[in-house]
Amino acid sequence: MDQRTFGHLMVAPLVEAPDGGVVPDVVAHIAPDPLDPLFDEEAFAAALRRKRTGIKRALLDQSLVSGIGNIYADEALWRARLHGERPTSGLRKAQVSLLVAQVRDVLREALKEGGTSFDGLYVNVNGESGYFERGLKAYGRGGAPCERCGTPIRRDAFMNRSSYTCPRCQPRPRGARPAG
């Protein structure tokens, strides 16, 4: 079992996965995570362009890609200098590649620090907030200077949670309203 997917014990029927293996039926509809060898960047880019949504919502959409929680999405978007409200349909291929590369880096670093890919679980198994303390550039840093440009990081409400962005490095797309 993939420790990054299963944080608790569960019993579920097994069904055939697209790769011919078997997975519990409850996760059969979940797309691979970006560190999975089965993750298909071309297919992901194509699916993004078909969606009528913002990038951050797409990153959190488990039918498109799994393993990315709210915190890791904010971190990857900050690194890629993309605002989460930017429409996925307007993303160029190079921007998708860059974003995927940043997501992978964030996930790898978090895993190395003992974090998990679960949203909100930025503490490691010993209850220490290693990655949260040391690695985060955007998430949870509202009002603190952006490490790239010094502009205060901005916090916006997002789907009952928060989004953290640098207003200068990640300009909000024109016409987009703050997400509530």
Least Cβ distance, residue 119 to Zn ion (angstroms): 24
Q: Which residue, 51 or 168, is less far from Zn ion as judged by CB?
A: 168
Q: Which residue, 64 or 146, is less far from Zn ion as judged by CB?
A: 146
Least Cβ distance, residue 103 to Zn ion (angstroms): 19
Q: By three-state DSSP, how is residue 131 classified? A: helix
- What residues make contact with Zn ion under the rule CB under 5 A? 146, 148-149, 151, 166, 168-169
| Helix (H) and strand (E) counts in the chain | 5, 4
Least Cβ distance, residue 77 to Zn ion (angstroms): 12
Least Cβ distance, residue 18 to Zn ion (angstroms): 39
Q: Tell me how many degrees the CA angle 136-140-143 measures, rounded to the nearest 5.
A: 110
Q: Which residue, 124 or 151, is less far from Zn ion as judged by CB?
A: 151
Q: Please list the residues that pair with 145 across neighbouring strands.
A: 152
- Return d(Cα 76, Cα 49) in angstroms, integer: 19
- Return d(Cα 38, Cα 178) in angstroms, integer: 35
Q: Which residue, 16 or 147, is less far from Zn ion as judged by CB?
A: 147
If one counts every other C-beta atom within 10 angstroms of the C-beta of residue 155, the result is: 17
- Return d(Cα 86, Cα 53) in angstroms, integer: 8
Least Cβ distance, residue 115 to Zn ion (angstroms): 24
Q: Which residue, 117 or 170, is less far from Zn ion as judged by CB?
A: 170
